[in-house]
Amino acid sequence: MSLRKRSIKESEMVSIVTPMYNSARFIKTTINSVINQTYENWELLVVDDCSTDGSLEIVKRYINKDDRIKLVELSHNQGAGVARNVGIENSKGKYISFLDADDYWEPQKLEIQVDLISKKQWAGLYSGYNNVDENSIGNTSFVVPKRINFNLLKYNNYILTSTLIVKKTVVNDIRFPLMRKRQDWIFFLEILKKVEYLYSSPGCYVNYRKSSNSLSSNKLGLVKVNLGVISNYFYAGNKLKGGMHFVVFLFYYFHNKLFFLRKTKDV
């Protein structure tokens, strides 16, 4: 039986955290993808990081139509990590899920993940995703390992934030670090210090927008940021040990390109 047909009282709430900064171009698509979920017991916490482009007005119009959508406004710009932390702290659901303000979900994303996480009693789930690149013809789907532990994740971040759903009890004492880049990777590593594995759900139900000015599109910037995270997080700033770790990191990175990335014509 589809979860849509179950009583809302019989299902478990998912708190969806969306950090937003000047996202007027895409936020409608993002919110609509949540409203269109076949799993209906959710709350959407949009945490605005001082947008100036009309994003707030768009979200407020949605709030007037659907009381499951809530808005939290930060007093000054602090970055996506802080916005996600505020969302976690204001959440009421049994599960926490994340959706960036320029990404969007396929309708069955929550239904599939909630059904699986509740049956298996896993701590958290991630999934593959579709890369949506508006500057190229065709898109790609990124297929992920079936499960990940700390030792695997420390050599490459396989998890896209917008694919994750996790039990709130797991992240009650975990927060995104106060850094502008790669704070999601550290957050996932902290989760995997606490639980043995995170597992993947089948299929690609998340659409990730890859912009030309994103970190993943800036190869040199990506190298510098990853090297910095590895040196500081694992080796307390020891650049020599961090550099040796980074060589292994690069091996896993290119292994991903060869074995987990598959070309598709359509998302």
Per the DSSP assignment, residues forming a β-bridge with 128 are 204
Q: Given this model, what pLDDT does residue 3 score?
A: 46
Contacts of 259 (CB under 8 A, 6+ apart): none
Assign residue 141 a region: left if phi > 0, alpha if psi is -120 to 50, beta otherwise?
beta
Q: Which of 49, 58, 85, 63 is nearest to 176 (CA)?
A: 85
Q: Which of 131, 139, 59 is nearest to 101 (CA)?
A: 59
For the entire predicted model, the pTM comes to 0.84
Taking the domain 3-211, which CATH number applies? 3.90.550.10
Q: Identify residue 255 by its one-letter amino acid code.
A: H
Q: Given this model, what pLDDT does residue 78 score?
A: 93
Q: What is the CA radius of gyration of the chain?
A: 18
As separate numbers, helices (DSSP H) first and strands (DSSP E) second, the chain gives 9, 11
| Residue in this structure with the two tokens 């789907």, named with its chain if needed | 141
Length of the chain (residues): 267
Q: Where are the domains of the chain?
A: 3-211
Q: Given this model, what pLDDT does residue 219 score?
A: 58
Contact in structure between 154 and 134 (CB atoms under 8 Å): no
**Cα–Cα distance measured from residue 44 to residue 66, given in angstroms and rounded to the nearest whole number:** 10
Angle at 131 between CA 130 and CA 133, to 5 degrees: 140
Q: What is the DSSP letter of 174?
A: -
Q: Given this model, what pLDDT does residue 171 score?
A: 97
Q: Given this model, what pLDDT does residue 239 score?
A: 67
Residue-level pLDDT, tens digit, the chain, 267 residues: 444 444 454 579 999 999 999 999 999 999 999 999 999 999 999 999 999 999 999 999 999 999 999 999 999 999 999 999 999 999 999 999 999 999 999 999 999 999 999 999 999 999 999 998 766 545 678 888 999 999 889 888 889 999 999 999 999 999 998 887 789 999 999 999 999 999 999 999 999 997 654 445 455 666 677 666 776 677 665 667 666 676 666 666 666 655 555 544 343
Q: Given this model, what pLDDT does residue 10 score?
A: 52
Q: Given this model, what pLDDT does residue 4 score?
A: 46
